[in-house]
Amino acid sequence: MRTILFIIQKEFLQIKRDKTLLPIIFVVPIVQLLFLVYAATFEIKNIDLCIVDNDLSSSSREIAQKFEASPFFNITGKTFSIEDAEKLIETDDADIAIIIPHDFERDLVRNKTAGIQILVNSIDQTTGSIGNSYCQQIIMSYNKQIITTFADIKTLTSIKDSKSININHQFWYNPELNYKIFMVPGILVILITIIGMFLSAMNLVKEKEVGTIEQINVTPIKKHQFIIGKMVPFLLIALFELAFGLTLGKIIFNVPIVGNLGVVFIAATVYLFVVLGFGLLISTMSNTQQQAMFVAWFFMLVFIMMSGLFTPTDNMPDWAQKLNYINPVAYFIKIIRMVLLKGSGILDIKKELLSLFGYGVIVFSLATLRYRKTS
């Protein structure tokens, strides 16, 4: 134990002396948290919209005003030509075009039906699909309004006398559907993963590049002592980053902390046991910091993209969902969201915790066995 404490003390001294490492540890995560939360949003706003009103009636002007009043659309053009609207879409000056045909109001009054065409630029699939959904909601709202307006008294009386089912929507855990509440816990996971995997991967390789690893190898320090001594400083730093990030999330973004913070840090310790072991395993197989950086970045990118942070895992193919069984990031993102937003306890996350613990034992054992020490 005393040997491990000396190694930990040496690591903290090295971190303190490294002028490039301190900004990476303390400044970069804070900046990323503050910027990524605003950038990584599922809300689609400022959709460029072109309106083609070939009817110029009170009904067409009313529906056009509904689009203008929507906070999701920017009216970038009004024209009477479908060709002009298509050119705006082709030049990316408009994302969506609404085509109100001639005799729209007449067909609506006489035939009780009329059509509106929606042209959508689907190069950006997310903006296109969500923008189309917004358009349909506005049109459906207008449709309900005109049904009430054009219905005769007899129809209104029958509707009033008939029994109907009222549906009330209630959103649990995030009633206002604030994406920041959903994203902050996930981004915190990414930040402590960067601290754990990248820095631990480069730390041991740096010893190889500088040449101090040879001096350590001829000492009576055992392999597991050396690995633990290398891992503990970054474990403590990552837990500090997590605590600081949770504080910022509460103060700046008002992220609710419904569950027990002790459960969060217990789960974080187990998770970091996996990530740090993974970084150390990479470092034992790399000869330069550049090699370690590329390998760590490869795994980080795969883990993040498949973790469910940006896209729901249920929408992924079956093979990708099965691949997430070996994705530690997916486990911890699920855990931290459950604890912070739902108030889950140890028993609710025991399956994920046990999976991470088993994962950590395997990775840490491989890192220890892989490290070749000669005395």
* Cα distance from N-terminal residue to C-terminal residue, the chain: 20
* Average pLDDT of every residue of the chain: 82
Can you give the pLDDT at residue 270?
A: 93
37-49 CB burial, b ≥16 within 10 A, e <16: beebeeebeebbb
Q: What is the pTM of this model?
A: 0.75
Percent of the chain at pLDDT exceeding 90: 15
Would you list the domain boundaries of the chain? 2-40+175-370, 47-161
* Structure-token match 């981004």, residue found: 187
How many CB atoms lie under 10 A from the CB of residue 32?
16
200 torsion bin: left (phi>0), alpha (psi -120 to 50), beta (else): alpha
Compare 43 and 229 and report the one with higher pLDDT: 229
Cβ atoms of residues 55 and 210 within 8 Å: no
**Residue 156 predicted with pLDDT over 80:** no
| Higher pLDDT, residue 298 or 165 | 298
To the nearest whole percent, how much of the chain has pLDDT over 70? Answer: 91
Is pLDDT above 50 for 375? Answer: no
d(C-alpha 177, C-alpha 35), whole Å: 20
Beta bridge partners of 48: 74
Which option is the CATH number for 47-161: 3.50.50.60, 3.20.20.80, 3.40.1710.10, 1.10.540.10? 3.40.1710.10
Region label for 288, one of left (φ > 0), alpha (ψ between -120 and 50) or beta (otherwise) = beta
- What are the residues whose beta carbons fall under 8 Å from the beta carbon of 95, sequence distance 6 or more? 47, 48, 49, 89, 120, 121, 124, 127, 128, 131
Q: Report the alpha-carbon distance of residue 284 to residue 226 in Å, rounded.
A: 12
Q: Is the pLDDT confidence value at 217 over 90?
A: no
Q: Model confidence over 78-89: pLDDT tens digits?
A: 888 888 888 988
The pLDDT tens digits for 314-339 are 778 888 888 888 889 999 999 999 99
Decide if pLDDT at 1 tops 90.
no
Q: What's the pLDDT at 153?
A: 47
